[in-house]
Structure 1
Amino acid sequence: MTDGTSEPVAVRAGAKQLKSIQVARGFAALAVVAFHLLDTEARYFSGESLLPGFFDGGQAGVDLFFVISGFVMVLTTRGKHGSVRNVAKFAWNRAFRIYPTYWAYFLLLLPIFLLFPTWINASQGNQVNLFTSFFLLPSNTLPILLVAWTLTLELWFYIVFTVILFLPERLLIPALAVWFVILVVVNWNGPISADPFVQVPANAMALEFIFGGVTALIFRRISRPVAIILALVGLAIIILLGSTPPQSITAGAGLPRPLTMGIGFALLLAAFTAWEHRGSIGILRRLAILGDMSYSVYLGHILVLVAMGRVWQSISGPFAGNSVAAGAWLVLMVLAVLLFGYLSYRLVEKPVTGLSKRWQSRVFHEDRRSALMTR
């Protein structure tokens, strides 16, 4: 999953970019890749598994993405509450970050689904609702692109936060608190079973968005010694208490997952961003490119893994029991995912972002510099 906001984030207008956020995005994307790589190995490779079992925990990359999303939304809208113009620009930017790149993948998969329907959504009997998939609406079936179920939740977060932006900024914390209480009460006895258009708003994973938003409000006040403590506590919560049960595409997993993984990742993110704010994250900043292309990696990685898994099945006859050959192919699969993600970022995401800025400047009558400042 991704937060759909892979552009660099500035602490404030004219300030240095938070490379820590980009690095965290890259880590989240790689975690999800690792999780699905484990499944790909089980499906297409014979013999004993070469991948470590802890790759299963990679599904928590989704939780980190949601925390990052809340952080970014709150940070980038400071001082912009209560203005219809700013709210409209927020909605514009979020729609352009999610939809165009996703639609490119939708259109890529559409002819495959029409010609070879058994290749798509096999886990749910190859059932796909093209209308809800295209618009990322709540549905009882997975979208045509499997991982896009998280984008439906992301869009709901954006809708709620758009409403919050109409309020004076002094009401941000109370609004997030009310949202938090509602989600806890609704999910107290577990996820509710209802129509998808009810389940998505009630999904407790939104708590992770709230935790990320609170983190954005406090990270600049955290000293480096406190950051170390927060990082250790967050890591302990994730390792010792972290819960990532199977995720319903709409109803969610109840309270244990967001109250463990969400809080744990929020503490880690607070520590990481605070550390950078008070200095630098050193050589780790070089990994920011992984965050830049994280949305493309997230959207495209299953397509690449499945394609290369099928290729391995067709050519691995003489090497079926050769762990060296299988391991080399697994490494090649990861490299292919990264290459495909980078090309998608350069050829699809970046042009779309540039087009969005140009159109936004015309719609909102801004000059180019102003459009960049409100990114």
Structure 2
Amino acid sequence: MAERHKLDWIQALRGIAALLVVLTHARRYLLDTEWRPFVEHYIMPAAQGVDLFFLVSGFIMVYTTRSADGSLRYASSFLIKRFARVWPVYAVAVLLWIAFLAATAQPIAPLADILRSLCFLPVSTHQPPYLGLPYAIGWTLNYEFYFYVIFGLSILFGSARWIAFSTWLGLTLVLAPWLAAGYVSLLASNDYHLGSALAGQLTNPMVWEFAAGVLIGLLYQSKLSIPRSMLSDALIVACIALIVATSWRTAPNWIHGPIRWGAPLMLMFAVMALTYKNAEPRVPRFLVWLGGLSYSLYLLHYIVFSVITQLFILAGQEKLTTTWPYAILIVPVPLLVAAVSRRYIEDGLAVNVRDRLLALHARVFALPARANRQVTTKEA
């Protein structure tokens, strides 16, 4: 199955999701112009690339853990790999952002907030789901890593892993809000006023999008499928048209969450998964390449934008930064930085961190086996 399914279409979705977020932030250069209504209505909805990321993450975690044996060794190895995948690049991004703020004499968040964010902990419940982090782009990583933790712990329940996973979601996303606030919301912008930043994160409906990705991943592994045909391709196109239509018809009232941007994305993703499980599409190599850069592109593009804009301001060309040519031409630049980051941080630093942690992990789990052999030898 692993050889037959390359999942290039998943990589393409990752790349598209990252590029959509980049376009969303490029629009800010036109917010102080007469084009503001246009970019807010037609470009701001590209932020739903985040919702697509969350769906893909849920799906991929199911796919990559299909051989999970329920052991502590497997679960801990899974968490180490996920930590090493996301933390090094994120830590570099946070440090680069702080360095940029310091170099431009802008306010820097308190050290406690910076350290909290580096531990994937929220800072505040102000304007959920964004969590008030020192490097605002990192809010998605809080939800991402939290999902990895509960997903990894559910592996320990073996054949009952999905029951354990579902139960935890029910407790945190349904029961806890109901008991504390008297209602349950599916709006990611909702604030239950729980008085705790962490509780606000754990109960935020954004988590449902990871759960939807998990469900679609399970459907992908099931016997259910949609035969690949012109009709199925037309259905996928119709789903994409629905996404565009709902985004532009209701913008800017719609935003992140399972019943806003997330709902039509879930439908499209489910149809793609059931269609492509037996007949994967040919994906342009550029999109596969873009998917490989998606994590670095997502995390670093905002820093790249900020640095370039600051250079224009220092050069006395600030007026150019509020034009369409600037907003368009600045978009490809983060791709170069992301390619460097992929080579030296993701495939370099992050892989090194992963390998070192896995080596330590192997030694820890080898100790009981070594001790048992010694006892057996003595008894013999």
User: Which ranges in structure 2 are unaligned for 5 or more consecutive residues?
Assistant: 125-130, 178-182, 364-380
Aligned partner of residue 222 in structure 1, secondary structure: coil
Verify: 1:153 aligned to 2:143, yes or no: yes
Distance 1:279 1:47, change over 3 A: same
Relative to the length of structure 2, the TM-score reads 0.77
- Quote the residue 1:179 is aligned against: 169
Which digits, 9 at most, give the CA deviation of each residue in 1:104-125, with x for residues without a partner? 122223334445452657xxxx
Aligned amino acid, residue 215 of structure 1: I
Gaps of 5+ in 1: 1-10, 248-252, 367-375
Q: Which has the higher contact order (CA 8 A, sep 6+)?
A: 2
Which amino acid counterpart does residue 291 of structure 1 have in structure 2?
G
| Distance in 1, Cα, partners of 2:156 & 2:251 | 34
| Distance in 2 (alpha carbons) for counterparts of 1:244 and 1:137 | 30
C-alpha separation in 2, matches of 1:164 and 1:86: 11
- My pick for the range that moved more, 233-242 or 31-40, is 233-242
For residue 161 of structure 1, report the CA deviation from its aligned partner.
1.1
Q: Which has the larger radius of gyration?
A: 2
User: What are the Cα deviations for residues 169-224 of structure 1, in whole angstroms up to 9, with x where unaligned?
Assistant: 35415632662575245362543112101111101100000000011111353222
Partner residue of 1:41 out of 30, 37, 40: 30
Q: Give the aligned length.
A: 339
**Aligned CA distance change for structure 1 residues 30 and 119 (closer, same or farther; 3 Å):** farther
TM-score (norm 1): 0.78
Counterpart for residue 325 of structure 2: 328
AA partner of residue 341 (structure 1): A
The reply on whether 1:18 has 2:19 as its aligned counterpart is no
- Residue 264 of structure 1 deviates from its aligned partner by 2.1
- Residue in 1 aligned with 2:236? 231
- In the aligned structure 2, how far is the partner of 1:111 from the partner of 1:313? 18
Q: Residue type matched to 1:33 in 2?
A: V
Residue type of the alignment partner of 1:89: S
Contact conserved, 2:209 with 2:257, CA < 8 A, in 1?
no
- Superposed CA deviations along residues 31-71 of structure 1, whole A, max 9, x for unmatched, are 1111111113325xx56468584111011111111111111
Q: Which moved more, 1:179-188 or 1:342-351?
A: 179-188
Specify which of 53, 76, 82 is matched with residue 64 of structure 2: 76
The 1:343–1:75 alpha-carbon spacing in structure 2 relative to 1, beyond 3 Å, is same
Q: Deviations over 1:323-343 (max 9, x none)?
A: 9xx443333211111111111
Counterpart for residue 369 of structure 1: none
User: Partner amino acid for 2:138?
Assistant: A
Identify if the C-alpha distance between structure 1 residues 365 and 15 changes in structure 2 by more than 3 Å, giving closer, same or farther.
Answer: farther
Distance in 2 between residues matched to 1:312 and 1:47, nearest whole Å? 21
What is the distance in 1 between the residues matched to 2:324 and 2:252?
28
1:347-374 C-alpha deviation (Å, 9 max, x unpaired): 21111343145325523449xxxxxxxx
Deviation at 1:92, TM superposition (A): 0.1
Question: Percent identity over the alignment?
Answer: 24
Structure 1 residues 120, 222: closer, same or farther in 2, change over 3 A? farther
244 and 196 in structure 1: CA distance in 2 versus 1, 3 angstrom threshold: farther
The amino acid of 1:164's aligned partner reads: S
Q: 1:343 aligns with which of 333, 340, 355?
A: 340
Alpha carbons 1:231, 1:267 under 8 Å: kept: no
Q: State the shift of 1:266 in Å.
A: 2.4
Matched, 1:28 2:25: no
In structure 1, C-alpha distance between the alignment counterparts of 2:160 and 2:239, rounded to whole Å: 28
| TM superposition shift of 1:345 | 1.2
